[in-house]
Structures are given as structure tokens and as C-alpha cells.
Amino acid sequence: MANMKICNYCVAALTILVGVLIARAALGYGIAMTFFGPGPGVWPFVLGSLLVVIGALIVLDTVVHSRKFTATKVILNDAGCVRAYIMMAAAVLYLVLLVILGFYISSFIFLIGGMWILGMRNLKLAVAVSLLFLAGVYVLFSYLLHIQLPLPIFFD
């Protein structure tokens, strides 16, 4: 059984690492301002930077509440933790499917699967929520931002 302080430091380190990797990758897409607006790497860079800040805030909070977190025990095989592990594995699978099936198909599968894992058993509602969310994303990126999200490999 681990304590919350150790778990917080692990989560913070992972969050900072992922944030740095995202921000670094975004620099390759370009973040400079152009005639048409900011470069395509701006928002991924901002999100990666926010992850770094969130990781730093987790460390700060853990340092400030060190005694409380040291005394708090974490049961890593608790049902809630196992559900979180399954969601993490689903997120990794989503990233793999994103390259193969493109954004819309893989996101539809991930959203429905995620809702199922988290306990939503109403399939009609899950499908409706997923479709409405993806329709909103489509309008936002295709019409308002004029950015094409990844398409399936069989569309190339």
C-alpha cells in the first residue's frame, strides 16, 4: 500500500513529462504568427505548457500538504483505481486508433467505450452524446478554425 505523497509525485512527473513532449512536438508544427493567424502548433503547445503547469501545481500542493498526504494510504487495486487503469489503457489504444482510423471514428469509439467503462449503460444516450460532441468538434475545426483533423489511413 502506497501513500498519497508518493502517488502525487509520480502523477506530477508523468504529467510534466507528457506536457513537455507535447509542447516539444508542437514546436515542430510551428507556433509563429502568420498572415492567416497562429501556426498549427500553437494550441498543442499551449495545452502541453498547461500540463507542465498542472504538474508543477501538483508538486506544490504535495509539498504544502506533505504530512496529510504521507498519512493518506492509497489502495492501488481498488475498484476505482482499476477503472482508471482501464481508462488509461483505452486512451493509449485511442492514440493508436487515431493514426489508423482518423479522429472522428476513433473518437466515436473512445467516447462510447469511455462512457461504458465509467458506468453509463444507456447506449442510445452514449451514441447521441458522442455524435453531438463530434458534430461540435467538426463545426469548430472545419468551419471556424479551417483545420482538418486526422483522417483514416484508407482516405489518403
Indicate whether 47 and 104 sit together in one domain. Answer: no
122 and 64 in a single domain? The answer is no
Range of the domain at 21: 1-74
Residue 35: predicted pLDDT: 78
Clarify whether residues 84 and 142 are in a common domain. Answer: yes
Pair (52, 97) in one structural domain: no
Same domain, 36 and 90: no
Q: How many domains does the chain have?
A: 2
Residue indicated by cell numbers 482538418:
148
**pLDDT tens digits, 60-111:** 999 999 999 999 998 888 888 899 999 999 999 999 999 999 999 999 999 9
Using DSSP bridges, classify how beta strands 37-38 and 73-74 pair: parallel, antiparallel or unpaired. Answer: unpaired
Which pTM does this prediction carry? Answer: 0.71
Is residue 94 domain-shared with residue 49, that is, in the same domain? no
Helix 42-64 and helix 4-27, axial crossing angle in degrees, nearest 10:
160
Residues 67 and 80 in one domain: no
Average pLDDT over every residue of 37-66 = 93
**Per-residue pLDDT tens digits for 114-148:** 999 999 999 999 999 999 999 999 999 888 888 88
pLDDT tens track for 12-26: 999 999 999 999 999
pLDDT of residue 40: 83
Whole-angstrom distance, CA of residue 113 vs CA of residue 101: 15
For residue 49, is pLDDT > 80?
A: yes
Question: Is 149 in contact with 98 (CB distance < 8 Å)?
Answer: no
